Structure 1
Amino acid sequence: MNVAIAGRMSSSLFRRGLQKGSSIAIGYMPVAFTFGLLAKSSGLSLFEAVCMSIFVFAGAAQYISLTLFAAGISGFEIILTTFIVNIRHLLMSASIGEKSADDPKWKKALYSFFITDETFSVAAVQKGNIQAAYMLGIGLIAWSSWVVFSGVGYLIGSGLPTILQESMGIALYALFIGLLVPSARKSLKVILLASIAAVVNSILTFSTPMSTGWTIIISTLFAAVLIELLWKGEKADA
């Protein structure tokens, strides 16, 4: 009887997770579609593009990887850059871990894969403990949308004229600008962080023999550390 009740509760939580995650899935459609288009223009195969969405499931990291792939950057540099870009996931996972129920570790490991900025935002406002079934409902529908529309974007990109496919690369830079501007409008810290990273990256690119991957890694770390030191100094003075 207890097993049956637990099963019904898990089913109900899973359906509620699917409902909550449906808005995320809809929001992912155009972004994943664009990723598929750009993956095609970057020279990835359909299999490679879809597998990246299946196993990485991280929008910013996947977009950055396309640029690094096109530049011929080594796998180690791509992995390290992705780690730096996604290091915030450690904090999000820790926060979710504090709210999670006493589920088996394998369940926590399973739904931790689905933590993104969007799924975290939905889960974080959940009252009480977070159940595995609820997190899996949110994560699975968001992940499915991302994977499916990555493939759809790639297939539609394959049907575009070659000259249009090649020109799609510029959309990657437009996307990054689109992601940066809303945050920059609300925070001087973001503006300074992006500006310092851009200046340092340009200096390293034109004055050193470093590869593109290492210039991105070093400039990102330098800007992040410098901004945090400056901000802490201002708070201390205040």
Structure 2
Amino acid sequence: MNQVSEKKNFLQGVKAAMPIAVGYIPIAIAFGLLAKSVGIPSYVSFLMSLLIYAGASQFIGINLIVLGASWWEIVVTTFILNLRHFLMTATLSQKLEKQASRKWRLLLSFGITDETFSVSSFQSPKFLPKYFLLGLNTIAFVSWNIGTWLGLFCASGLPDTVKSSMGIALYVMFIGLLIPQVKKSKSALVVSLLAITINSLSNWLGISNGWGIIIATVFSAAIGAQLFAREESN
């Protein structure tokens, strides 16, 4: 692949990441504010965003630290919550262009989140260009860490109503990413409804959020793959 194509793919990834960045920054600001308000050292909070880079795990980790949980409880809880990343990276590994080396795959896997996975999954090319995913992941990662820094050092003077409203930005972003896809794709609509139904049933049965997400992801994807593979073969 020549440099022009690489640059084009990278910039397309950057463009696709803009809705994610708009959603990540206020959520990361909220994380920084929360961590600071409960007495977590700023350098610890910033390292969490740099090295862990998983919003739900970071929020849960902060809450568990405040509750006095042991390091083992924190590790196990966040591990269960993030099991879905094995599924997401395995799926994208199959879609990533064949020329991507193992080093590239390791680098790109670090930047996979729920949102970058969602955007990548809906890309039309049969094989996903590695530079597209690099651009997508880079903007998402940078925006999350910028938001964390702003929350730790610049957002303490914001009105309480603004601070509290930042927590819903994640849900708004997910809806914004999902709606255009379900309008264009019957398979996306069906799989989304399946995931909602299975996750709701899991919550009703008292299954933890982490396991509920994993179960909903696995079963909705498996059912959708079976249904639409048959349609394509016909």
Same fold (TM over 0.5): yes
Structure 1: state its 5+ residue gaps. Answer: 198-218
- Contact 1:40–1:158, Cα closer than 8 Å, also in 2: no
CA distance change for structure 1 residues 28 and 222 in 2, over 3 Å: closer, same or farther? closer
Give, in whole Å, the separation in 2 of the partners of 1:193 and 1:18.
Answer: 36
Q: Which moved more, 1:141-150 or 1:75-84?
A: 75-84
Q: CA shift at 1:160, angstroms?
A: 7.1
> 1:88-125, CA deviations, whole angstroms, 9 ceiling, x for partnerless residues?
11111111011011211001100111111110111111
Give, in whole Å, the separation in 2 of the partners of 1:21 and 1:222.
Answer: 25
Give, in whole Å, the separation in 2 of the partners of 1:194 and 1:59.
Answer: 21
**Alignment of structure 1 residues 4-15 onto 2, 5 Å:** 6-15=2-11
Give, in whole Å, the separation in 1 of the partners of 2:158 and 2:116.
Answer: 33
Q: CA shift at 1:84, angstroms?
A: 0.7
Correspondence 1:135 to 2:140: no
CA distance change for structure 1 residues 136 and 221 in 2, over 3 Å: closer, same or farther? closer
TM-score by length of 2: 0.71
In the other structure, the counterpart of 2:203 is 194
Correspondence 1:44 to 2:40: yes
Structure index of larger Rg: 1
Paired amino acid for 1:75: W
Q: CA shift at 1:47, angstroms?
A: 1.1
Q: CA shift at 1:147, angstroms?
A: 0.4
Paired amino acid for 1:71: L
In the other structure, the counterpart of 1:201 is none
- Contact 2:32–2:45, Cα closer than 8 Å, also in 1: yes
CA distance change for structure 1 residues 160 and 24 in 2, over 3 Å: closer, same or farther? closer
CA distance change for structure 1 residues 101 and 73 in 2, over 3 Å: closer, same or farther? same
- Contact 2:80–2:210, Cα closer than 8 Å, also in 1: no
Paired amino acid for 2:199: V
Give, in whole Å, the separation in 1 of the partners of 2:211 and 2:75.
Answer: 20
Greater than 6 Å deviation, 4+ residue runs: none
Give, in whole Å, the separation in 2 of the partners of 1:139 and 1:222.
Answer: 23
> 1:6-38, CA deviations, whole angstroms, 9 ceiling, x for partnerless residues?
222211111111111111111111111111111
> 1:135-167, CA deviations, whole angstroms, 9 ceiling, x for partnerless residues?
110000011000011110121355579xx7xxx
Report the aligned-residue RMSD.
Answer: 3.4
Of 198, 203, 208, 1:220 maps to 208
In the other structure, the counterpart of 1:115 is 112
- Contact 1:29–1:149, Cα closer than 8 Å, also in 2: yes
Give, in whole Å, the separation in 2 of the partners of 1:104 and 1:87.
Answer: 24
TM-score by length of 1: 0.70
